[in-house]
């Protein structure tokens, strides 16, 4: 129907973890690989560094996302339990609190009192209403740590694998150039995909991601070049 619009679910963590995972994997591994290439390390050392970066980074990202989402979920559940107990022990005080929230949003006092009284008749509806209005959370969307960890692991590995591909096929300057090309294409693509979630210009988002990746790669390549493997 005309005028209808939909909002994406931003609380589950899967989409966010996927986007950040592939971005981090790409940036970190292209920088690591080019740092080793800049030091003129043997092809075997570059491959090992790239594979180690992929594996270590994937597990690190997954663990970080799991812990972060688990802590967020547990915090939300704790706050919901506190609110549930308050509704059970002192429903009138909670009704007044809800009415005050409605009044602060421009609803007249009589309507706010009537509306809050209706909401408080059903304990579960009262909990959901207080959670949304007072805490700003949806009781049914407290986050999924396993989804976030899984998405982060897979997408980090995917991003990290892109700049590693040339070193599994060739070596030297050729592999270095192809890592730069694939890294740039990947960064541009990740930035464009990110614009789908943020609603920003895809060209701006893609260019920003490309710039960030380019700076990271240039710095690590320079460090590797001047320090060397010795």
Who wins on pLDDT, 158 or 92? 158
Q: For residues 35 and 212, what is the distance between their CA atoms, to the nearest angstrom?
A: 16
> Is the predicted pLDDT of residue 191 greater than 70, yes or no?
yes
Q: Which of 19-28, 109-118, 164-173 has the highest mean pLDDT?
A: 164-173
Q: For residues 24 and 54, what is the distance between their CA atoms, to the nearest angstrom?
A: 10
Distance of CA 68 to the CA centre of its chain: 10
Ordered by start, the domain boundaries in the chain are: 14-76+150-225, 80-135
* Averaged pLDDT score across all residues of the chain: 84
pLDDT in the model for residue 14: 59
Percentage of residues in the chain having pLDDT higher than 70: 90
Q: For residues 79 and 54, what is the distance between their CA atoms, to the nearest angstrom?
A: 37
> Is the predicted pLDDT of residue 216 greater than 80, yes or no?
yes
As a whole number, mean pLDDT of residues 33-61 equals 94
Q: Which of 48-52, 71-75, 79-83, 223-227 has the highest mean pLDDT?
A: 48-52
**Helices marked H in 14-142 — which ranges?**
14-38, 43-89, 91-104, 109-120, 123-130
Q: pLDDT tens digits, residue range 6-22?
A: 445 444 455 666 778 88
Indicate the pTM of the whole model: 0.74
Q: pLDDT tens digits, residue range 57-78?
A: 999 989 988 898 888 888 888 8
Q: Is 128 helix (H, G, I), strand (E, B) or coil?
A: helix
As a whole number, mean pLDDT of residues 197-218 equals 89
Q: At what angle do helices 172-198 and 14-38 cross, to 10 degrees?
A: 160
> Is the predicted pLDDT of residue 139 greater than 80, yes or no?
no
Q: For residues 42 and 91, what is the distance between their CA atoms, to the nearest angstrom?
A: 71
Could you tell me which of 100, 199, 194 has the C-alpha nearest to residue 155? Answer: 194
DSSP label of 136:
-
Q: pLDDT tens digits, residue range 69-123?
A: 888 888 888 888 887 888 888 888 888 887 888 888 788 888 888 888 887 887 7
> Is the predicted pLDDT of residue 181 greater than 90, yes or no?
yes
> Is the predicted pLDDT of residue 1 greater than 60, yes or no?
no
Percentage of residues in the chain having pLDDT higher than 90: 41
């Amino acid at each position: 129907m005309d005028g209808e619009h939909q909002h994406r679910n931003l609380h589950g963590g899967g989409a966010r973890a996927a986007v950040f995972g592939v971005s981090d994997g790409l940036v970190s591994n292209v920088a690591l690989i080019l740092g080793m290439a800049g030091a003129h390390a043997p092809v075997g050392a570059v491959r090992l560094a790239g594979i180690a970066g992929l594996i270590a980074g994937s597990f690190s990202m997954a663990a970080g996302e799991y812990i972060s989402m688990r802590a967020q979920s547990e915090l939300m559940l704790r706050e919901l339990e506190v609110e549930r107990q308050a509704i059970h022990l002192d429903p009138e005080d909670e009704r007044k609190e809800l009415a005050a929230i409605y009044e602060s949003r421009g609803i007249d006092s009589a309507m706010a009192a009537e509306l809050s009284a209706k909401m408080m008749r059903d304990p579960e509806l009262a909990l959901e209403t207080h959670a949304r209005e007072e805490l700003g959370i949806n009781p049914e969307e407290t986050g999924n740590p396993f989804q976030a960890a899984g998405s982060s692991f897979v997408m980090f590995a995917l991003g990290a694998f892109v700049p590693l591909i040339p070193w599994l096929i060739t070596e030297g300057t050729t592999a270095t150039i192809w890592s730069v090309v694939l890294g740039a294409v990947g960064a541009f693509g990740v930035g464009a995909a990110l614009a789908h979630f943020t609603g920003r210009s895809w060209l701006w988002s893609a260019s920003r991601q490309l710039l960030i990746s380019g700076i990271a790669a240039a710095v690590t390549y320079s460090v590797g070049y001047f320090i060397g493997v010795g």
